Homo-oligomer: A and B are copies of this chain.
Amino acid sequence: MDAARKLLGERSVAEISLRELAAEVGLAKSNVLRYFGSREAVFLDVLDEEWAAWNDRLDAALPAETPPEQVAAILADSLADAPLLCELTSVMIAVLERNVSLDYARDFKRRIMEHSARATQLIRRAVPALSEEDAGQFVTIMLIAVAGLWPCAQPNEVLATVQAELGLPGGPEFFRGTLRDMLLTQLRGLTL
């Protein structure tokens, strides 16, 4: 897992091959496949760890009964400060989950459901006016927003040039600000 983290710190998921992953771990490709099942399963295990760690940080950062503006800012900041979590979330459904075994997918979904349930409770602690169902929906929509927004936070040179020329928003501050505004609007709409 540390080997995968090291590679992910340098390049995007799409750019890391099974061969490189195996070389970094110090195993033959066939052994990586025997132990982990697939290249994608290694990355999903990292995502699982990242969510658990994010929940721990949220537990410490998000006080009980917090005004919605502050909840939205704390959530957006904590996500913007966890680029690996965001990148893996953004490719989880479209890419990573497409190449794992049924057994792995079943186990992984259960782990993700636990992280999601814990985040839901932390958000209800901060915003008691949210029903259990609405808080769960809020967490789902937060994850969807992270998945859709993250690529905007990482423009390449061509995109960054065009954004600057046309005065279009983009980059890490666009990710943080849009996520914060969107989460605040969701909280307001759900607690009417």
Task: Give how many A residues have a beta carbon under 8 Å from the other chain's beta carbons.
Answer: 46
Q: Does A73 contact B (CB under 8 A)?
A: no
Across the interface, A148 reaches (CB within 8 A) one of B101, B149, B162, B178, namely B149
Most B CB within 10 A of own CB, among A137, A140, A189: A189
For chain A, residues 43 to 94, give those with C-beta under 8 angstroms from any C-beta of chain B: 90-91, 93-94
The quantity of this chain's copies bound in the complex is: 2
B144 touches A148 (CB 8 A): yes
B102 touches A162 (CB 8 A): yes
Would you list 7 pairs from A and B whose C-beta atoms are within 8 A, ordered by A residue?
A94-B151, A137-B181, A144-B149, A185-B186, A186-B186, A188-B192, A189-B189
B-contacting 9-mer, from A1-9, A23-31, A121-129, A152-160: A152-160
A109 touches B168 (CB 8 A): yes
